Structure 1
Amino acid sequence: MFKNAKTTLILLTAMNLRLAVTAITPLFGTIQRALHVTSATTALLVTIPLLCFAGGALLTPRLHQRFGAQPLLLTSTGLLVIANLLRPTNTFCLLIGTLLIGLAIAALNVLVPIMIAQTSSSHATTTRLTSYYAVTMNVVAAVGTALAIPLAQLWGWATVLRSFALPAAVTLGVTLWVKLPRSPRQTQSTTADHANLLSLLVHDRTARLLTLFMGLQSLVFYSLIAWLPDIFHALGATTTQAGNLLAVFQLVGIPAALVLNWVTNPRHLLWGLGAGYLVGLLSLAWTGAGWWVAASVLGFTAALIFSLALNLIATSSAVVTTVAHRSALAQSVGYLLAATGPVLLGQLHDVTHTWFPVLGLFLLLMGLTIGLGFRLAHRLANHH
């Protein structure tokens, strides 16, 4: 019974991991008009959480060692409730609320795998719980994205933003009821950890390639999340259609990780991913049906390349501590790199007043990502 309660808490926590970041993007146009802000400002609603995720990959493990999972989970979900309720008040609250949401989710991103490890009794259970949490996270984010515009038309955009507090409020309530174990304190110094990561960045070429690959594919994904609704709208889609297309973009990513079970050679996979990026972008020119092809193909490609990035990190060394350090570096610096994307592309649109240069830059970034992937796959193949 207790184990079931902890599993429920993990899945409830997963509901909060993307919703407030990705489901807001279909409302960007509405928010810009309501609060009289630019595209670059609304891009911060995706960029700020990414910067927080970068810091969270380094700081949360230390907070967990000091305070334990329970206090950290209570604080993070409580912060999510307050921040979501506060966010629609005005431009200042919108940005401060987004910062608080980013900090809260950054902690939860690291906490969920720790909670899974504490709950699981076998490797099979860990794998199953991890897949359940990934599916829960993606389904809730996709449903929230699809419903954002219709609900905003019924109740107003501010009410929709405040409704993102509901899953966090439920999680907070369950956290008060379920008791989580405290992890034993570790004496590893923070300074030593930072020195290790800096040394890794300077001396480990594989770590640098993994970090750049992780960062570039995340930059492409979060930039697509931020601007696809506006791009579809500019091409002639209604705001409701644009929201639904973004929901499809997220939903098709759910089964993408399964492909790794069938295609084990990264280089074969990268040819398909390169084709996916290209077909997805070109399909935007095909009005109507092409938009659905673009959303589906780009969504599947972006989700699959993320799974590939995680897999390449996990299999980059037979030494567990090396993998752990490479993972921390790739996620922290990678998210910092990803954070530049939405703002940079939003600024480019504000200057040029058209999405064509943005699409051209997308093509360039996608090409760089695939090229880097081939270099990384070649290096790992030669070192194994």
Structure 2
Amino acid sequence: MGILVVFVNRRRWFSTSSKTLDLSNVEKFLQDYVHQMPCRYSYSQLMKITSKFTHRVGEGGFGVVYKGKLSTGDLVAVKMLDQSRHSENQFMNEVATIGRIHHVHLVRLMGYCYEGNRNALVYEYMANGSLEKFIFAGREKEQILNWAQLYSIALGAARGIAYLYQDCDNRIIHFDIKPHNILLDEEFTPKVADFGLAKLCGKKKDHISMTAARGTPGYAAPEVWNRNLGPVTDKSDVYSFGMVLLEMVGGRKNVDVQVSRSSQLYFPEWAFKLKENEQLERVLRGSGKAEIECEEKEKAIRLAKVGLWCIQYTSRDRPSMSRVVQMLEGNGDDITNPPLPFNSSIRAAPSIDSSEESSV
């Protein structure tokens, strides 16, 4: 097993190479930051908040999520973590990162429970769940978002990710940007969630050291799984966000083995070829329907162009996340056409795996 080391305000709060964590280290961390962190709940309080865990709303890679209600009337999502080294790592990462920052487009960690083998994270409740269930084909008609909503979600998520790099004491690299981790509240305001794989990077560092790949196949940047391509930086999240944008535009997964034409198997490549031939509108969801107006089509093509810029194979060719926000906020034809995003070996890369939920 590798050594996990995370810095908060340049202080080392956790390090272990064993299969189980030193619980005294965890408690010390919690005590050191007790005045800066969300509320600590007991397990009995969680039982009351969730009505004895009766309303299950989902399941992630590290535990089951239940709907709950605080005494204030606020709805919450309580994630009960399973008992594994990875879930312990997620617990510490979440508390050390999202537990100490607030932004309208980042999900709020409202509390936690650390009581024996009962560990939990308490988040604000997001009534509309994840973006993933709204953007892929084959969903119920009432679940399909219009272009104005998609555009607003893309811009909001971009602002949230940019905040992680620009305005935090230490930059936070998320490492798992995907539709499943972009949550939507009752008004479809997007909030980036799930910081279990996140790593902190000092303001003066331009890259981050990694002992193993992390992220979800299909969204992880090439340099994350192949270190010969250069260092891992915040541009790795930019790549993942670009993949999300293209899935929003096409209403389908970027790698789809069920498409009838092999030329459409890898959606970003197909989209780029159509862009070169000035036929990019052919990839837009519902492009053959009359309800897509000229203004909507312009927004959709803008999302596609920004997405193609974000997934440039070499990280130095990708825009920064702040630049991505500017590109999305712009109007007219201010976005230059992106160059070919792909390397000839990209089809053989691990990112071709279409499994959305597995992480490495």
TM-score tier, shorter chain, comes to: under 0.3
Say which structure is richer in strand.
2
- Larger RCO, structure (CA 8 Å, separation 6 or more): 1
- TM-score between the two structures when normalised by the length of structure 1: 0.27
